[in-house]
Structure 1
């Protein structure tokens, strides 16, 4: 049986007004009070991961967490701060059906936002 569900993401650097290329992202499955690491990836030049994070037989409903390595990204971009604020931004969410879940992150060194997006 082929599943139609998939998980994608997109990271935009709102400080510089461009996609956040080269940001590390870790995906975890959440089991109650602990997590299980599923994969690590990096965003491409468009701020996206080249392949869906989960799709096909790897996709299944459940609770998940994406960890965006924002601090490393901005440090690599040369953003210096005596008092860094954001380091790893965790986004925990639930996928409850066979569908396309798109989890974008808009981020600066001091703030972020996310939502369930739609990607065509």
Structure 2
């Protein structure tokens, strides 16, 4: 693993992953939308599905596209649980929004989501 140096800084990027804690596995096939919020408006800037590892195949934003501001990830967990085959699992949570702020000078934002049919949590990962 290489350590970024001033002459080779890390490329700014935003990543996420989703873990299904109720079943002890990555949450594959979760629809994810990324929104940028500014001046009272919302603009969708990325849409993707999680892969078999519960991750996105590429960063949601990277390089110059990751500008400081307010963002919101929206995870379609209701559809994921409804498709899981557990009776009633998709009856409580629908979409889970996670709103966060990107600050200037910070290069990597990783925003994981841990889900169960009736609860979720998130944190700033590494």
Q: TM-score of the superposition, structure 2-length normalised?
A: 0.86
Which of 71, 78, 83 is equivalent to 2:85? 78
Aligned to 1:108: 116
Question: How far apart, CA to CA, are the structure 1 residues paired with 2:10 and 2:35?
Answer: 20
Question: How far apart, CA to CA, are the structure 2 residues paired with 1:83 and 1:40?
Answer: 21
**Aligned-pair Cα RMSD in Å:** 1.8
How has the CA–CA distance of structure 1 residues 64 and 78 changed in structure 2, closer, same or farther, with 3 Å as cutoff? same
* Post-superposition CA distance 1:94-117 (Å, at most 9, x none): 000241000000001100000000
Q: Mark the structure with the bigger radius of gyration.
A: 2
Which of 45, 49, 64 is equivalent to 1:38? 45
Question: How far apart, CA to CA, are the structure 2 residues paired with 1:83 and 1:11?
Answer: 16
Aligned to 2:22: 15
**Where does structure 1 differ by over 4 angstroms across 4 or more consecutive aligned residues?**
none
Higher relative contact order (Cα pairs below 8 Å, separated by 6+ residues): 1
- For the residue of structure 2 that corresponds to 1:74, the secondary structure is helix
Report how far residue 79 of structure 1 moved.
2.2
Aligned to 1:99: 107
Contact 2:35 2:71 in 1 (8 A): yes
Aligned residues: 117
Aligned to 1:58: 65
Aligned to 2:4: none
Q: TM-score of the superposition, structure 1-length normalised?
A: 0.90
Gaps of 5+ in 1: none
Gaps of 5+ in 2: 1-8
